[in-house]
Structures are given as structure tokens and as C-alpha cells.
Chain A
């Protein structure tokens, strides 16, 4: 593997037929690059949760993905309502998703903590009425001293 692969994706709002396309595409690229299945899975889970959040909570958004030789960086941003209390939102079980979302199979309040569990680095910037940006990094090899 050499050089940085950069990809950008549009994440349409409330469209459940295409939600996850970006994550699916990145997953394919990583597999083709020979990244270990374990890392591909962790990356997929983290990115997909963030992508779904942008779809259901953020009125859609954009994904930027940079794949380096040693890591993948993912930025999912939206211009939605923002998160009022991030600490609360990070807690397992906290969700503001309406019943219509739950009928689609989401809204258990597990996504953000699941991202945290699988990402090596996670940084969330959010501002009320401006939007939310989720920055995820996954290293391809175990990191020491990070």
C-alpha cells in the first residue's frame, strides 16, 4: 500500500435506501488494500454508526475519508441541530430518536458509545443549530503509548 487514498461522499438526509453506502464503499477499499478483517470491521462499525447518525439526526451530511499507510481517518459532518449535551448523548441508552426511526431498526442510543469502543481516536465537535462533526481514526497496527 502506498500513498494516501482520499474519498468524499454525500450522505443524503432520511434516505434509508442509500444510508450506509459510504461506509460500504470504504469497507470495500480497505479490503482491497489488504487491511486485516478485524480492522475493517472496527472501521466499518464506527463509520456506519456515524453515517446513520448523520442520516437520522443531522439532516444528512458529508463524509471525508483519508486512508494512509498506517491508519484511516474519517470525518462525518452535518449541518443539523447539533448535540446539546454530548456527555449525555455518549451514554448507552440515551436516544432522542422518534418511534418512526425505531421502526426502521435504529434509535437504541448505542451508536456513539459503539463508535468510541471501536475507534482508536474519537473527537466530536458539535454546536447547536450549526451541526456536528465526528472525527474517527483507526490505526492498522496496535498503537503503543497513544
Chain B
């Protein structure tokens, strides 16, 4: 699924300035603990989280996660946006809580599985 479709499904807006083209999401991981994300080594994954700090971007970088959705209306800081742009990671924000955002994506074909 393309990032633009993800954004549409969960009514998310893009916070970063880099291009969202070419990013294809096939699986997703919802977590507030980055420790759990580190144990999720699927590729082409999307991360949904309620945690807002620079380590979210770092963790995404290490795990080859190209897109992160902040749930429940949380917004990344300027420093995080800069960091994400530098690493070609797309940041999005949605007002939906984690469960609902995850459910909407699951319902539309993004499952936790993947490579």
C-alpha cells in the first residue's frame, strides 16, 4: 500500500518534507515501546506509535522502517522532522487512537506479517 493510501485511510497528514513516492508498505507494527519495535524485523513496515521522541526516528532508521504514524493527534518536534527528512523517513500524524488506526489499516489489507 502506498503512503498516500495509508494517509487517506486513517485521515493522517504528512509532517515531513521528503517524498512519499516509492514507499510501499506491506506490514505494520503498533508499539509504544521501541524495544518491541527492535524485535520486529519485518521489511517494508510501517510503525504506529504514541511515543514522541528522537529515538522513534532512530529506531525506524535501524529497522529500515520508512514511515511512522503518530497516533492520537501527537505531533513530531521540528528536530524529529529534520532528522527524519535527513534519513528519508516519512512522518505522519493522525487523530485516531492506536487501536482504531491499526484496525483500519488491518481491515484494508495491511497485516502484521510480511517478509
Contact = CB atoms under 8 A, between A and B. Distances in A.
Interface in B31-63: 32-36, 38-39, 41, 51, 53-56, 58-59, 61-63
B58 A20 contact: yes
B58 A41 contact: no
A108 B36 contact: yes
Nearest to B32: A105
B61 A102 contact: no
B64 to A, nearest CB: 6
A84 B79 CA distance: 38
Interface in B5-35: 32-35
Given A41-B41, A45-B41, A110-B39, A16 B62 contact: no
Contacts of A23: 58, 62
Interface residues of A, number: 24
A24 B61 contact: yes
Contacts, number: 66
Nearest to A106: B35
Nearest to A118: B41
A114 B61 contact: no
Interface residues of B, number: 20
Interface in B63-108: 63-64, 79
Given A27-B61, A41-B64, A49 B55 contact: no
B62 A102 contact: no
B58 A49 contact: no
B55 A19 contact: yes
Contact of A111 (B32, B38, B61, B63): B38
A104 B38 contact: no
Given A105-B32, A106-B33, A45 B56 contact: no
Contacts of B55: 16, 19-20, 52, 104-106
Nearest to A111: B35
A48 B64 contact: no
Given A104-B53, A105-B33, A19 B63 contact: no
Interface of B: 32-36, 38-39, 41, 51, 53-56, 58-59, 61-64, 79
Interface of A: 16-17, 19-20, 23-24, 27, 37, 41, 44-45, 48-49, 52, 102, 104-111, 114
